[in-house]
Amino acid sequence: MSTLLEHGRTHDCGSLRAADVGATVVLFGWVHRRRDLGARIFVQLRDRFGITQVVFGKDLDAAAYEAASGLRGEFCVAVKGEVVARGDNSNAAMATGEVEVNATELQVFSPADTLPFNVADDDKLDASEALRLKHRYLDLRRPSLQKNFVLRSRLATLTRITLAEQGFLELETPYMVKYTPGGARNFLVPSRLNPGMFYALAESPQIFKQLFMVAGMDKYFQICRCFRDEDLRNDRQPEFTQIDVEISFATPERVFAPIERLIRRAWSEVLGVTLPDPFPRMTWAEAMNRFGSDKPDLRFGLEFVDITDLAHKSGAKIFEAAKLVKAIVVPAAHSESLSRGRIDKLTELVKKRESGGAKGLAWAKVQEGGSWTSPLTKAISAEFQAEISARVGAEPGSVVLVVADEPHTVHAALNALRLELRDSLDLVKHSGSDPWRFLWVTDFPLFEKSERGYVSSHHPFTSPRLDQLALLDSDPSQVLAQAYDLVLNGNEVGGGSIRIHQSDVQAKIFQVLGLSEAQIQQKFGFLLDAFRYGPPPHGGIALGLDRLSMLMCGAQSLRDVIAFPKTQKGTDLMTGCPSGADDAQLAELYIGHRDLPATPES
């Protein structure tokens, strides 16, 4: 029974062509589809590389034909036979469609029960995601998912090759690390050898990669797992993968260059797409000003136009008190479907808290000459209407949408509006331009203000711009960081910064953050120790490999590029995880259950 296995396949199921006609071949694969026409049984044999049609007939080989009559979907089999031309019956939709294999031998490696869902009809998949996750090993047979993982693997390999070529060392950092009380984002691991003590699962290699720089490793990278015990929103996973990079003697440009190089190479080799060199850069301030977002989607227009001065002079009461008035213009080509009803919906959108909570949305349909059809025509003279129309570049038929409010409200509301219009008006498709818009957003604010005072926008080792150190005393809110994000089509795919290596600057930052000496020592003591011994200037970045893969694949969910993902409840439906633990094991770890809800599941 193992003869063909020992012989080995001569080809995979995606490789036979007309040039192979006449060859005797051995193929291994799964029964993708099977049609029994009596005298002939046709089997589409599938593996990761493609599909080949195999023909069984009594006249071709009686024993093989007999065996083939017992085949069902997803049996795993070996076939030996002769490659023949299909001639007029060629199937242009299949890479192997010019040929088929007349089978002379069939061996069944293993049979298959009826599948819980059909993997062959990848396009019309109707199984629930829960059912597919429970049988993930079958879900992953679907050609569309396999394609994702082939692509992800290539992205990872190209990343490694490209960084290694540029002198980066791939170095590993521990996953079981020091737990720092106070943060709530760590998974904990009780230590059996150290009673009452816990490890944390590393949420990132941040501190270790900085220590690599102190150690003189010069350029480090790692594709590593990170762990965060967060409430899982739609597209989060408790463990995720990042491309982690750190560089000694870094400037932002010295970080951008190798990252751009690996992304350009991956897009070129995997997708055949030539990306610009260099990627465009935009300061955070400009991004907020033009798009109201620190991750602007540049694939379409609808940029914001500041009309504060005109609005104030217009005499309209609703604009009078607003600190900022900005507009976006929906061009005539796309504005037709913006009925009164649609605009009412958009008004509701901008009023939502998560969209900025604006007080309202003003709108105007622009006529010939620049005057408006709008609820505002009574409040604003035709002259001002035309002046505003000219300022925002509105042509007849355009719809102008205006929000007047506090700056951050205006930006948040118009950003929400812009993205909603992108989706509902299908603007990316219509804009027809470059579908891959990478962008570096730079010069983020160093701090954010919270109720408790200043907190770091990124992390407390982020370097301020060195020309702004004086502002740390006078107005920390104005200090810009040497921090940057890599944005793709409106998604943040990476972020990083130049780090602080000067102890005086670090001390000042801790002071602004209001950290006590004890807190500093507990949280960062060993890092500050390290920085006493000649740390080099350094900086780095981390890219989300999951998200980058997802966007590269055109997938809709991270779960489509993670082989064995967890649900939003952090469960694995296939293995039934997490699960209860026996008490003896818990005792060994010096822990016990407590405060379990009334009907514990364990």
Q: Which of residues 182-211 bind a copy of itself (CB under 8 A)?
A: 182, 184, 187-201, 207-208, 211
Measured from the CB of residue 247, what is the shortest distance to a copy of itself in angstroms? 11
Smallest distance, a copy of itself to C-beta of residue 529, A: 8
135 token code pair: 């049988």
Q: Are strands 483-488 and 239-248 parallel, antiparallel or unpaired?
A: unpaired
Q: Which CB atom, from 34 or from 295, has the smaller least distance to a copy of itself?
A: 34
Three-state secondary structure call for residue 368: helix
Minimum CB separation of residue 205 from a copy of itself in Å reads 10
Read off φ and ψ for residue 452, nearest 5 degrees.
Answer: -85, 0
Question: Which pairing describes strands 324-330 and 281-283: parallel, antiparallel, or unpaired?
Answer: unpaired
18 binds a copy of itself (CB under 8 A): no
Q: Which of residues 337-396 bind a copy of itself (CB under 8 A)?
A: none
For the chain, what is the radius of gyration of the CA atoms?
30
Residues 260, 258: Cα–Cα separation, whole Å: 5
Q: Does 30 bind a copy of itself (CB under 8 A)?
A: yes
C-beta of 354 vs 582, nearer to a copy of itself:
582
- For a copy of itself, the binding residue among 48, 281, 290, 508 (CB under 8 A) is 48
Q: How far apart are CA 293 and CA 512, in angstroms?
A: 26
Of 23, 94, 127, 156, the one binding a copy of itself by CB under 8 A: 156
Is residue 578 at the binding interface for a copy of itself, with CB under 8 A as the rule? yes
Helices 407-424 and 340-351, axial angle in degrees (round to 10): 140
Rounded (10°) angle between helices 143-165 and 252-266? 140
Q: Which stretch binds a copy of itself (CB under 8 A): 181-189, 300-308, 343-351, 471-479?
A: 181-189
Instruction: Give the C-alpha separation, 58 to 61, whole Å.
Output: 5
Q: Which of 3, 24, 89, 174 binds a copy of itself (CB under 8 A)?
A: 174
Q: Would you tell me how many other CB atoms lie within 10 Å of the CB of residue 8?
A: 9
Residues annotated in a binding site: 228-230, 237, 458, 492, 499, 544-547
Report in angstroms how near the CB of residue 210 gets to a copy of itself at its nearest. 9
Residue 49 identity: F
Q: Which stretch binds a copy of itself (CB under 8 A): 74-82, 374-382, 477-485, 487-495?
A: 74-82
Q: Which is nearer to a copy of itself, 296 or 535 (CB)?
A: 535
Closest CB 465 distance from a copy of itself, rounded Å: 11
Residues 515-554 that bind a copy of itself (CB under 8 A): 526, 529-537
Reply yes or no: is the peptide bond before residue 331 cis, omega within 30 of 0.
no
Residues belonging to the binding site for ATP are 228-230, 237, 492, 544-547
Closest Cα to residue 102, out of 56, 67, 70, 36?
Answer: 56
**Residue 96 lies near a copy of itself (rule: CB under 8 A):** no
Minimum distance, C-beta of residue 547 to a copy of itself, in the bound complex (Å): 14
Residue of 196, 286, 183 lying closest to 523 (CA atoms)? 183
Question: Residue from 19, 39, 62, 161 that binds a copy of itself (CB under 8 A)?
Answer: 161
Q: Per CB under 8 A, does 301 bind a copy of itself?
A: no
In the complex, what is the shortest distance from the CB of residue 258 to a copy of itself, in angstroms, rounded to a whole number?
Answer: 14
Q: In the range 215-254, which residues lie near a copy of itself by CB under 8 A? A: 215-218, 225, 227, 229, 231-232, 238-239, 241, 248-249, 251, 254
CB 335 within 8 A of CB 397: yes
Is residue 530 within 8 Å of residue 208, measured between CB atoms? Answer: no
Q: How far is the CB of 536 from a copy of itself (least distance, A)?
A: 5
Residue 329 pairs in a beta bridge with 400
For 467, residues 6+ apart whose C-beta sits below 8 A from its C-beta are: none
CA–CA distances in Å: residue 273 to residues 251, 266, 434, 487: 28, 9, 10, 17
Report in angstroms how near the CB of residue 23 gets to a copy of itself at its nearest. 19
Secondary structure element (H or E) that encloses residue 209, with its range: helix 206-214
Residue 39 φ then ψ, to 5° = -70, -25
- In 363-392, which positions are buried (b, 16+ CB within 10 angstroms) versus exposed (e)? bbbbbeebbbebebeeebeeebbbbbbebb
Q: Quick one: 337 or 599, whose CB is closer to a copy of itself? A: 599
Nearest CA to 77 among 100, 54, 117, 110? 110
Q: Which residues between 124 and 153 bind a copy of itself (CB under 8 A)?
A: 135-141, 146, 149-150, 153
* Binder of a copy of itself out of 24, 268, 477, 575 (CB under 8 A): 575
Segment near a copy of itself (CB under 8 A), from 61-69, 89-97, 413-421, 584-592? 584-592
Return the residue of 57, 96, 100, 212 that touches a copy of itself, per CB under 8 A.
212
Using CB under 8 A as the binding criterion, the count of chain residues that bind a copy of itself stands at 135
| Sequence ranges of the binding site for L-aspartate | 228, 458, 499
Over the window 406 to 435, marking each residue x when it contacts a copy of itself by CB under 8 A and - when it does not, the resulting string is ------------------------------
Task: State in angstroms the smallest separation of the CB of 485 from a copy of itself.
Answer: 22
Following CA atoms 525, 528, 529, 532 in sequence, which dihedral angle do they give, to the nearest 10 degrees?
-160
